[in-house]
Amino acid sequence: MPEFFKFDQIEYHMGAAGRTVKVSSDLEEGSILVIKGPSGAGKTTLLRILARLLECDKGQVFLQGQNWLSFTPQLWRSKINYLAQKPAVFNGTVLDNLKKPFALKIKKDMFNLDEAIDGLRELSLNENLIHQDARTLSGGETARITLLRPILFKPNILLLDEPFASLDDNSARSVMEFLKRWLENETGRGIVMVTHNDIYKDISGIKIQELELSEPGVN
């Protein structure tokens, strides 16, 4: 059996000082890799590289044994889906926002309204929100809607950049439980998550690994 998701000696430069980060890690199916480290350590940059939104200097990534370069970037990003630290909210309703990724040719017309409504309920959101102007949502509602958007796209790997940043403790715990159910509901899923919130430590029954991006050039 090939490893589920693996990045091998990924190397990249950052910032004006041009320092280099080198990282390797792997993720078992059904588990979470938590990326930690101080501000500016390169956590967001790493997630964007894994999603093929940025290029790295060296290194390779494998999904179920297949090299990332054997996928088109678009196909890769449908399997490895990145949720930004400050996700974009588009003009229009919540429904328009949830449908947005399905404009891509690769999953054209595969949006399922029932799944979207189930997702809202599972995230403790009122289903009537679906017709609300997305720009009028509260910070916590926006965080949950923008999390639901890649979930509906059914990726193998979710790359989450600070998903708890605008949530209170109770909402963060319920989002973490939602993510646990998401991992368990189907095979072939995993999460790579950048977070300063230790809420994931309270959730039992999921394998969690930590990767610390600390000193320049280490890892």
Q: In the numeric block, which tokens belong to residue 73?
A: 């970037």
Residue 39 interacting entry, from Mg ion, ligand ATP, none, C-beta within 5 to 8 Å by type: ligand ATP
Q: Which does 92 bind (CB under 5 to 8 A by kind): Mg ion, ligand ATP, none?
A: none
Secondary structure of residue 91 in the 3-state scheme: coil
d(CA 60, CA 68): 7
Per CB under 6 A, 44 contacts ligand ATP: yes
Among 1, 39, 55, 139, binds ligand ATP (CB under 6 A): 39
The residue within the footprint of ligand ATP, chosen from 42, 101, 150, 155 (CB under 6 A), is 42
- Contact stretch for Mg ion (CB under 5 A) within 67-75, 81-89, 116-124, 152-160: 81-89
Shortest approach of ligand ATP to residue 43 CB, angstroms? 4
Asked if 18 touches ligand ATP (CB under 6 A), the answer is no
CA separation, residue 25 to residues 3, 151, 212 (Å): 11, 23, 11
Distance CA 84, CA 81 (A): 10
Q: Which does 65 bind (CB under 5 to 8 A by kind): Mg ion, ligand ATP, none?
A: none
Q: Judged by CB under 5 A, does residue 146 bind Mg ion?
A: no
Site pattern 68..87 for ligand ATP (x: CB under 6 A)? -----------------x--
At 73 the three-state DSSP class reads helix
C-alpha distances out from residue 125 to 87, 101, 138, 143, Å? 18, 21, 11, 11
Among 44, 78, 146, 171, binds Mg ion (CB under 5 A): 44
Separation between Cα atoms, residue 37 and residue 196, nearest integer Å: 8
Distance CA 2, CA 78 (A): 20
By CB under 5 A, name the binding residues for Mg ion. Answer: 43-44, 85
Site residues for ligand ATP per CB under 6 A:
14-15, 37, 39-45, 85
